[in-house]
Amino acid sequence: MTSILLTGGAGYIGSHTYISLLEAGYTPVILDNFANSHPAVLERLQAITGRPAVCERGDVLDTPWVEEVLRRHRIGGVVHFAGDKAVGESVAKPLKYYRNNLGGAVSLMQAMENAGCGTLVFSSSATVYGDPQSVPIAEDAARSHTNPYGHTKLVIEDMLAAQRVAQPDWKVAVLRYFNPVGAHPSGLIGEDPSGIPNNLMPFITQVALGQRPHLQVFGSDYPTPDGTGVRDYIHVCDLAEGHVAALKVLLESGRSLSVNLGTGQGHSVLEVVRAFEAASSRPVPFQLVPRRPGDVANVYADPRLAQELLGWRATRTLAQMCADAWRWQSRNPTGYRTA
């Protein structure tokens, strides 16, 4: 079966996509420098799949090496997850983001062109919609950016469009993720943020474990039903299956596309807290505090185009997202460092 290179495949979304690809009959190959992941994930993947995980350790910025990896594994398609993703850090260290995210994409695309591989799935983000004019957000909504991280996603989308004009045989799927949460139901792999989590779900799981005293709910005066921010949380296993569906379309129909990967349903911060308490049977104490700068009130996807073009839609519930996030965190209180 076709070999698929997963840059950043040792990370949170990449490791889940690795499993879905294997289940769908592809041969996934991980390429990662472990800048934001742990090699122990490879043993966990082997435990789940019953097969040793194939991993090339190195940097996507190293174009000749990436080209050599593409050729040696006879790669038929690439999923590009590798990059830095912390919004706050990108404001403090913009050059790190432009170098790794933009430089990484240029390097990968050059290596692919050299090796004659033009099939690429790219991890974009709902952040490219900036502060949306209305919800649900469809793919033709205006794009903008409010921080260097978001800017890199926008520019990479544009670079891919330019490359498709120059190389009409390239097949590209741009996947705009909404808010990925949850973990594989085995409890063996999951999200393992370093330091204080920026995102809601990993913060909640650490509060439930007693590692942090309480959650700060950023803003309770938004124009939403309970005043707290509303987002489109999507189970990471649904997201992983979306990648398989996108690759199938690229490989079988040769059609390029840009689609949202979300559920189409918004949940407030307080709804997530309540769902998590129900799933974990643990209290999640919280304090209402002022809004986080840069946050917007209400973000959820119009998921219809993904269903139409990919034949894919998210099926897992918020309760499953919370139960799976809790299973992972409670069995691995210090993430992969317990391995």
Rama region for 125: left / alpha / beta (φ>0; ψ in -120 to 50; rest): beta
* Part of the chain binding ligand UD1 (CB under 6 A), chosen from 36-44, 124-132, 306-314, 331-339: 124-132
Residues 279-298 that bind ligand NAD (CB under 6 A): none
Residues 268-297 that bind ligand UD1 (CB under 6 A): 269, 292, 294-295
Residues 298-337 that bind ligand NAD (CB under 6 A): none
Distance of alpha carbon 238 from alpha carbon 26, whole angstroms: 17
Residues 160-199 that bind ligand UD1 (CB under 6 A): 179, 198-199
Distance of alpha carbon 42 from alpha carbon 28, whole angstroms: 12
Distance of alpha carbon 285 from alpha carbon 258, whole angstroms: 39
Using CB under 6 A as the binding rule, whether residue 132 contacts ligand UD1 is answered as no
Q: Give the single-character DSSP code of 191.
A: -
Using CB under 6 A as the binding rule, whether residue 13 contacts ligand UD1 is answered as no
**Which position among 12, 97, 149, 300 bears the catalytic label?**
149
Entry field: residues in the chain: 339
Active site residue 149: yes
* Secondary structure in 3-state letters for 105-142: HHHHHHHHHHHCCCEEEEEEEHHHECCCCCCCECCCCC
Q: Structure tokens of 177? A: 């993720």
Shorter beta-carbon distance to ligand UD1: residue 113 or 295 = 295
The amino acid at residue 171 is K
Residues 84-103 that bind ligand NAD (CB under 6 A): 85, 100
Q: Structure tokens of 312? A: 């894919």
* Part of the chain binding ligand NAD (CB under 6 A), chosen from 57-65, 155-163, 165-173, 264-272: 57-65
Using CB under 6 A as the binding rule, whether residue 59 contacts ligand NAD is answered as yes
Instruction: With beta carbons less than 8 A apart as the criterion, state whether 261 and 176 touch.
Output: yes
Q: Of these partners, ligand NAD, ligand UD1, none, which one is at the site of residue 244 (CB under 5 to 8 Å by kind)?
A: none
Distance of alpha carbon 244 from alpha carbon 250, whole angstroms: 10
Going residue by residue from 120 to 159, which x/- string records binding to ligand NAD, judged by CB under 6 A? ---x-x----------------------------------
Using CB under 6 A as the binding rule, whether residue 33 contacts ligand NAD is answered as yes
Instruction: Give the residue ranges of DSSP H helices in 179-317.
Output: 200-208, 236-253, 269-280, 304-310
Shorter beta-carbon distance to ligand UD1: residue 170 or 276 = 276
At residue 182, the 3 state secondary structure works out as coil
Using alpha carbons, select from 161, 35, 186 the residue that is nearest to residue 109: 161
Distance of alpha carbon 230 from alpha carbon 268, whole angstroms: 4
Residues contributing to the site for ligand NAD (CB under 6 A) = 7-8, 10-14, 32-37, 59-61, 81-83, 85, 100, 104, 123, 125, 177, 180
Residues contributing to the site for ligand UD1 (CB under 6 A) = 87, 125-127, 179, 198-200, 203, 215-219, 229, 231, 269, 292, 294-295
